[in-house]
Amino acid sequence: MQSKKNLINEFIDNKKILITGGAGFIGGALIRKLLTEFNSELLNIDKLGYSSDLTSIQLITNKSKKNNYKHINLDLNNFEKLKDIIFNFQPDLIMHLAAESHVDRSIDNSRVFIESNIIGTFNLLEASRIYFRELKDQKKENFKLHHISTDEVFGSLDHNGKFSEESSYDPRSPYSASKASSDHLVRAWHHTYQLPIIITNCSNNFGPWQYPEKLIPLVIHKAVSKERIPIYGDGENIRDWLYVDDHVDALLRVISIGEIGKSYCIGGNNEISNKVLVKKICFILNEIKPSTYDYLDLIEYVKDRPGHDKRYAIDASYIKKELGWEPKYNFDESLKTTIKWYLENDAWRRKVLNRSGYKAERLGNLSD
């Protein structure tokens, strides 16, 4: 009997894979993995928004002799162009990661989240439905659309319990509501049109190449820039952290051997409060990049985010039982690796911030 790893390699190799949002943090990590470890033809559809960056992919493709990667700059709201691209590329698999994902930005401007996460997903589903309807034989039998989502669609937990595949949807922010809507659309297109889909809901990702508006790279940026490091509220909000390479491994396992119509929850088994996490980052920075000031002294508690979910936690026992996946990266070691990467790639951090115009200011802070 073949091992699950061999089954994954066999399934992914020589496939034509269309990836939306491949210039984003998780999409970029997925493409790097596919380019370096598989023989697949990849098409990356990404509109190149403020947080998009292709540097990490270009470092691989510039050295490669293969001609198996292409990027198309396209907003998924352009339905006709999207449909044409899908029909021209003839994908075997579609992995949908394109999304606006920052909760604070969704508080300031929810419209772009509705347009990207809901309308964009609808357009992809409709184009895929029309394409799938015309497929024949083995191509049709093997086709899958994998929708990558978030645990935030399930709302907020108290001190007990964890999210699972059976959890009810209870989104609390414009971002999570837009992602919940996209999940529901994906399921509806499966049940109504028999589109072969799989959904995954993951916990908070971290690692190299993440745009510095998310908590971990933002704290690093603030600390090395000698700026105040904000902690929302009392800092007791808890998140389950997942190293991005673990997430990518899970995604490839799901698309390869996951069951059509199912959803899988992907978590890192690393619950930690925002307050403790920020202090961990400061402790590590004090150790590996000592300065004339103590990074811990930069921490300040600020007004809480509106509708701030108290706790997220994933029960990943189902994906372990069914597909044999579990996280393999140690959190503390991965956090230190991530911090070192940002210190070593300071020019990249400054470049993406300057290009986007974001000055690491507070977002989503509603006035009283």
Q: How does DSSP assign 256-294, residue by residue?
A: HHPPTT-EEEE--S-EEEHHHHHHHHHHHHHHHS--SS-
322 a catalytic residue: no
Residue of 41, 46, 151, 249 with catalytic role: 151
Q: Are 301 and 278 in contact (CB under 8 A)?
A: no
CA distance 32 to 248: 10
**Does 201 score more than 60 pLDDT?**
yes
Residue of 41, 53, 100, 152 with catalytic role: 152
CA distance 157 to 300: 25
Rounded mean pLDDT of 84-99?
98
212-234 per-residue burial string, b: 16 or more CB within 10 A, e: under 16: bbbbbbbbbbbbbeeeebbbbee
Residue of 53, 100, 131, 175 with catalytic role: 175
Of the candidates 114, 85, 73, 93, the one whose C-alpha atom is nearest the C-alpha of residue 19 is 93
332 a catalytic residue: no
Report pLDDT for 358.
92
Tens of pLDDT along 286-305?
Answer: 999 999 999 999 999 999 99
For the chain, list the strands marked E by DSSP: 16-20, 41-45, 69-72, 93-96, 144-150, 197-202, 204-206, 229-232, 238-243, 263-266, 271-273, 299-302
Q: Using 50, 70 and 90 to split pLDDT, how confident is the model at 2?
A: low
**Does 19 score more than 70 pLDDT?**
yes
Q: Does CATH number 3.40.50.720 belong to domain 4-210+242-269+308-329?
A: yes
**Does 1 score more than 60 pLDDT?**
no
Is pLDDT larger for residue 1 or for residue 82? 82
Report pLDDT for 368.
44
Tens of pLDDT along 44-61?
Answer: 999 999 999 999 999 999
The residue with tokens 């600020």 is 302
Rounded mean pLDDT of 315-342?
98
Q: Are 253 and 8 in contact (CB under 8 A)?
A: yes
**Does 126 score more than 70 pLDDT?**
yes
151 a catalytic residue: yes
Report pLDDT for 367.
57
The pTM (predicted TM-score) of the whole model is 0.96
Residues 6+ apart with CB under 8 A from 277: 215, 216, 219, 239, 241
The pLDDT mean for the chain works out to 96
Of the candidates 196, 197, 200, 156, the one whose C-alpha atom is nearest the C-alpha of residue 176 is 156
